[in-house]
Each structure stands twice: as structure tokens, then as C-alpha cells.
Chain A
Amino acid sequence: MKGEQPTQPIALETAHLSRAVVGKVLTDDINIQVQVGEVVAVVGPSGSGKSSFLRLLNRLDEPTGGTVRLNGEDYRKLAPQELRRRVSMVMQTAYLFPGTVAENVAYGPRQRRQRLLAEQTDALLQRVGLSGYQERNANNLSGGEAQRVSIARTLANAPEILLLDEPTSALDEDSARGVEDLVLEIIRERRMTCVIVTHNNAQARRIAHRTMIIQDGKLVAIGPTNEVLRDD
């Protein structure tokens, strides 16, 4: 954090993080630290490299320069599957697997040959406001419901860090506000470390302790949200 002493341990740190594809720089030498329990918003114009940056944090894409440290450890030392369980992502579009809602929620634990108990599934669905949806066909849900299932599915992995890639941008206004409130409640009650990409500065103000602005893949500003977005 530029000019600030961390008051909590550093959960996530990027060191000269960069990625270029076929000569085009998508992420350019980004250095940030995210404290445990902190929420950092990533804002910037369309195509500025916000999502590209986020995809590097759980290694969905490979950095072509620099690295990411998770609790001080280079994330390349971790198996990608373990890394992604610990640093889970909710995507812009909620892609649900064929099957029931309960099967979707249990997807992450099942990959590790762990069984999610029915009571745990019930609790997660209740938390996202979908009690009684266990046996519903996942392909017959509204956009807002699908995103709530996607959030419950991510929480089933018990991640240390939550990455949110514009989780409300594909939803209508009512659903978007409902999902945003849900995300905010979950982050606060679980004191989750979170990096959220948003094109909506008002949303960043409502959710994030700090905000970083990316333009052309470069970090151009980072600091307390009210200061960084003061002139907006």
C-alpha cells in the first residue's frame, strides 16, 4: 500500500505483475498489497485490463512477468487446484453446471473428494437467499438466482480470498442491487479478503476499503476509496 503501514497481515501481494499476449500488454508491472479482511476495488475504463489483472491473481492466466504472493509465499509453489480453492473467483456470468442447484454448490468440495453435507448445502443456500432450491434444475434459474448459486458454490470452497469479476454487471438493476447487498453482507460477516472488479464507482464506494484504478494495464492510483474516487 503506497504510503501506508499495513495494520493487518498481508494476505495477497503482487510483485511486478505483468502479462503480455502477442505483443499486447494487458497487465503492466502492478505492485499492490491486500491486507487480511480488506476489500479492494479495481476500477477503470472498459478494456483497461481490470479482468486481465484479476485472472492473474488465481493464475487462470499465466503472468509473463512478476508474480503473486499468497501469505508471503510465491503462488507458483502451490498446485493450481489448491491455489484456486484458496483464492476463489465469482465470474461476471454465472456459468452453472448441468444438474441440480445442490450439485452445483457441492462442485468444489467434490473435486477434492470431499462430501458437502446436506445441512451445509442448506446453510449456504439459505445464506444466499435460495432456501428450498436444492433440487431445482440449475439451468432453469433467473440471472440473479444463478449468480447467487455461483456465490454459494464459491463459498463452499471456504476460500481465504474472494475474487469478484463484475458479479452484478450482467444482471438487471433489482437483481444487481440484491446480489451486491448479499456480497457486502457476506464479506463483512466473514471478514473476507476480497478483490472486486467493477465498472461502477458507486459500487466501489459502497463495498471497498481501498480502490485501485487501472488504465492501459497500468496501476495509476491506489488508496482509500473516498480519496481515489473523490473527484468522480
Chain B
Amino acid sequence: MIEFLATLDRNVAVGMAQAAAAIALCLGVVVLCRWFAVHVERETAVSLARGLVQMVAVGLVLALLLHGSLLIGALILLAMTFAAAVTASRRAPEIKKPLILSFYAITAGSSVVIAVLLATRTVTSEIVVLVPVGSMIIANAMNACAQAMERFRADITAHVGLIETGLALGADPAATVAPYVQSAVYASLLPRLDMLKSLGFVWIPGVMAGMLVSGASPVYAGIFQFIVVAMILAASGIAGLVATLLMRARAFSSAAQLTLRAAEPDKFATPQP
């Protein structure tokens, strides 16, 4: 513990100086924005403060739990999944129980992928490896879930007339929203597909950069990074698909009536049971 704190002292001092430089640059950008009447001062200040405090806290927790068991790692990932679900659920306030929906979708996407990563020994079950890689998977599953929910909600509320025309002609609810399911899942995958396409050309992700800094083989670091990004794509696809399908199920009543409407009061809105 004493040794750990001594290392912490030395590294923290260097790290805080480097963080100060990063913050200064961000503040410079804020000033530049202000010059063009874009006011992001308060939001940027809050975001920077929150980001720094949260990352320092995560670092402390990881340092203390460095030698924890797989169970502790799983609990940390579960807590992260819950926090991600809370964030994603804000994208669909009109849907019943959005938190549970988001939680299911993010859990489905991230748990399958993390299980495959562990089973293929791509990552070990050590917390120091599992939690950072798992958090990347969960964060991307969260983004995919939120993007799918937002796109599906927007498409449905913009096409109420067309959907109800289909229903009035005797179509199944799933058939009336099939194009919007496709576009929602595609929208949730697109950023990850672009990420995969641009891998190595436009950006060298953090994991690979970290491995190179710590002396790993550049080729293996590259392959490992590809695996992580491919797994992120898989997790995003599962999360986006599950979120959209769960949302589709909740967009209609048991009598095939469209219940998902725009947030503003609608005289035709069917009360949720």
C-alpha cells in the first residue's frame, strides 16, 4: 500500500500537469467558440470537471481492485451497464419502462461479446484487463442502443399516418414498421462500421497505442485492436437490434394499435395500460 501510494504521488503529479495542459487547450477552444457566439463555457467546464473526477475515481478503484476476482470484475461491469442504461433510456421517454429496455439491450450486446472475448482468451479475467476492455464494449453498446432508440422513435412519430394506414389495411404491426426497424439498426451500426473502415488509416485507437507504448509487438497490437473494434461492432449490432425490437413490441398495444406517439398531447393517443 505504501509503495502503491508512493507510485501514485509521483505519477499523479505528472498526470495532473499533463491534464492541466489538456484543460487549457479545451478552454482555448471555448474562448474561440465564444468569439463566434457559441456559448459552451458552462457545459464544457462541468464536463471537464466531471470527466477528470470520474477518471481519477476509476483509476483509484482499479488500482485498489487490481488483484480482485472475476466476480468483482463482473460486478463492476454490471454497474457500468446499469449506468449506461440510465443514460440511453433518456432517448425514449415516450416508451414504457425505457430503463429496463436499455438495460436488456446493452446487457445482451456486451455480455455476449465479453463472454466470447473471455472464451477465446482474447482478454484475461484480470480486472485490470477485463474492466477497461469491457467498458469500451459497454460504452459502444450504450451508444448503439441510444442511437437505435432515438432513430426508431423519430421515424415512428414522423410516420404515424403511414403506419396507421397499414394497420387499417389489416397489416401486422411488425410489417408496418419494418422499414423503420431496418433504418434504426443501420443507424446504430453506421458509426461503428465507419470506425472499422477507418481503422489504421484515420486513427490508431487507444488500446493499440497503449500496447505499443508498453512494448508489445506492433503486429499483435494491430490484430488485437482489430479484434476489439470488431467486437465493438458485434456488441453494437446486438444492442441496436435488441433495443429496436423491444421498442417495436412496446410501440403497439396487444390489439395492434399504435401507442408510441410524439411527446406532446395527442387526442388519439391510447393510454398505456
B-binding residues in A (CB < 8 A): 21-22, 24, 26, 52, 55, 58-62, 64, 76, 80-82, 84-85, 88-89, 91, 93, 95, 97-98, 107-108, 111-112, 150, 153-154, 157
Query: In the docked arrangement, what's the CA distance between A150 and B268, Å?
Result: 22
Among candidates B168, B172, B175, B269, residue contacting A60 with C-beta atoms closer than 8 Å? B168
Given the complex, which residues of B lie within 8 Å of A108, measured CB to CB? 169-171
The listed residue (A22, A80, A97, A112) touching B256 by CB distance below 8 A is: A80
A21 near B269 (CB under 8 angstroms)?
A: yes
Instruction: With A21-B268, A81-B172 given, name 17 new contacts (CB 8 A).
Output: A21-B271, A60-B167, A60-B168, A61-B270, A80-B167, A80-B257, A81-B170, A82-B170, A85-B169, A88-B169, A88-B170, A97-B162, A107-B169, A108-B170, A111-B175, A154-B169, A157-B169
Residue among B167, B169, B265, B267 with max Cβ neighbours from chain A (10 Å): B169
Interface string of B154-179 (1 = CB under 8 A from A): 00000001101111111110010001
> Given the interface contacts A22-B271, A95-B161, does A62 sit within 8 Å of B255 by beta carbon?
yes
B85 → chain A closest CB, angstroms: 28
8 shortest interchain CB distances as A-B pairs? A85-B170, A80-B256, A95-B165, A89-B168, A108-B169, A111-B171, A95-B161, A84-B170
Determine the distance from Cα of A21 to Cα of B270 in the docked complex, in whole angstroms: 7
Known contacts A62-B257, A85-B170, A111-B175: does B268 contact A24 (CB below 8 Å)? no
Min Cβ gap B94→A in Å is 14
A91 proximity list for chain B (CB < 8 A): 161, 164-165, 168
By beta carbon, the residue of chain B nearest A19 is: B270
* B267-A52 in contact (CB<8A): yes
Query: A213 to B169, alpha carbons, bound, how many Å?
Result: 27
Complex Cα distance, B267 from A52, in Å, reads: 8
Q: Most chain-A Cβ atoms within 10 A of its Cβ — which of B170, B175, B179, B268?
A: B170
A161 to chain B: closest CB distance in Å? 12
Residues of B at the A interface (CB closer than 8 Å) are 161-162, 164-172, 175, 179, 253, 255-257, 265, 267-271
Q: Contact between B267 and A26 (Cβ–Cβ < 8 Å)?
A: yes
- Known A-B contacts A80-B255, A81-B256; the reply to A95 vs B162 at CB < 8 A is yes
| Cα separation A91 to B168 with both chains bound (whole Å) | 9
Closest approach, in angstroms, between the C-beta of B168 and any C-beta of chain A? 4
Q: List 24 A-B contacts (CB under 8 A).
A: A22-B271, A52-B267, A52-B268, A59-B255, A59-B257, A61-B257, A62-B253, A62-B255, A62-B270, A64-B271, A80-B167, A80-B255, A80-B256, A81-B170, A85-B169, A88-B170, A91-B164, A91-B168, A93-B161, A95-B161, A111-B170, A111-B175, A112-B170, A150-B165
Report A86 CB to chain B, min CB distance, Å: 9
A88 to B167, CA, bound (A): 10
Q: Is the CB of A107 within 8 A of B166?
A: yes
Set of chain A residues within 8 Å of B268, measured between Cβ atoms: 21, 52, 55, 61
Q: Measured between C-beta atoms, what is the minimum distance from A114 to chain B in Å? A: 11
Among the listed A62, A81, A150, which residue makes an inter-chain contact with B171, where contact means beta carbons less than 8 Å apart? A81
Name which residue of chain A comes closest to B162, CB basis. A95
What distance in Å separates the Cβ of A68 from its nearest Cβ neighbour in chain B?
12
Most buried by A among B167, B168, B171, B179: B168
Known: A21-B267, A55-B268. A153 touches B169 (CB 8 A): yes
Contact (Cβ within 8 A) A88 B257: no
